[in-house]
Structure 1
Amino acid sequence: MNAIATTIDIKHRVRRRARLALLLRESAARAFRWIAIGFGALVILAGAVLTPLPGHVGLPLLVIGLMIVLRYSFQARKTFIKWQKRHPKLVFPIRRLMRREPEVLLVVWQQMLRTEKLVLRKARWRLLKKTRKRVKRYVARKTAKPA
């Protein structure tokens, strides 16, 4: 009878330790999530402050902070999806930058064209678009002619 009581006591201790280990893991994961969200918010704040300054440091910081917050916050993810549905043209470049292999140059080029279109209303004043077409024609001519 004493041996049976000892075995039951050992099983109880093992279960208690397993529950305690699970509780500690969950608490550590929750604490890490909150720390990561706070760090991401600080990076977003730093990016927002640096965006209007000369040099292009602010936008990458905003994207990195947004990636961190979206990774660890369910509420932020839901809000981001709502924004994506409401304003797809605004959110699409950010989504392209958040991919595993971001297309940074393409996003920058697209944003430059959009800014040029916004600032210079008349199509004949837009230099980037004209330059792109000239370069495209030049490359097509050079590749078409055999050497």
Structure 2
Amino acid sequence: MTAVTFASPERRRRPASEFARRLNKAAGMALGFLIIVLGILVAPLPGPGGVPIITLGLILVLRASTGAKRLFIRACHRWPRTLSPIRRLLRRNSPFVSIVWQMMLRMEKFVTRGNGLMAGWRRSLKRRRTA
């Protein structure tokens, strides 16, 4: 046996029953859709509160559904720059806080053309780091 055989994910996990696997996927999709609906309800409030919530719901749905993954891959080929933060969030051990911060800055720059509140916070953080 090689080291690759011992390191394979199938070796590390206990095999779950088919029913448990399907139940887990159904629960993930249901929770994802519930979070998306919550994000849509929060979206009209001031600030970008709905965007991160909807993104979290989409991530849960993408992890549970192969059909949604196919649609997401097609969308990634069509709009790669827009969907790159979501792709980065789907990776294992992704730096969640920095990705969400970059998404918020990008959204703020799009809405206010770079002269908003978060741009001032970013400048003050840069000054503190260099000082």
Separation in structure 2 between the aligned mates of residue 114 and residue 98 of structure 1, nearest angstrom: 24
Cα distance between partner residues in 2 of 1:96 and 1:45: 23
CA distance in 2, matches of 1:49, 1:97: 23
Describe the shift of the 1:98–1:53 C-alpha distance in structure 2 as closer, same or farther (beyond 3 A).
Answer: farther
Amino acid at match of 1:46: L
AA partner of residue 52 (structure 1): P
Q: Does residue 79 of the first structure (1) align with residue 71 of the second (2)?
A: yes
Offset at residue 80 of structure 1 (A):
0.7
1:70 aligns with 2:62: yes
Whether contact under 8 Å (2:42, 2:50) holds in the other structure is yes
Preserved CA contact (<8 Å) 1:37 1:72 = yes
Give CA-to-partner distance per residue, 1:23-59, whole Å, 9 cap, x none: x811121122112111111111111121121244322
Alignment of 1:1-147 (within 5 A): 25-99=17-91, 100-102=94-96, 103=98, 104-117=100-113, 127=115
Runs of 4+ in 1 over 6 A off after TM superposition: none
- Structure 1, unaligned stretches of length 5 or more? 1-21, 118-125
- Please tell me the root mean square deviation across aligned C-alpha atoms, in Å: 3.0
Shift of 1:127: 3.2
TM-score (norm 2): 0.64
Normalised to the residue count of structure 1, the TM-score between the two structures is: 0.58
Alpha carbons of structure 1 residues 127 and 43: separation in structure 2 relative to 1, 3 Å: closer
Aligned length: 106
Change (3 A) 1:37 1:127: closer
Report which structure shows greater RCO (CA 8 Å, sep ≥6). Answer: 2
- For 2:112, the aligned partner's letter is E
Cα distance, 1:81 vs. partner? 0.9
Identity %: 29
Comparing both structures, which one devotes a greater share of its residues to helix?
1
Name stretches of at least 5 consecutive residues in structure 2 with no aligned partner.
1-14
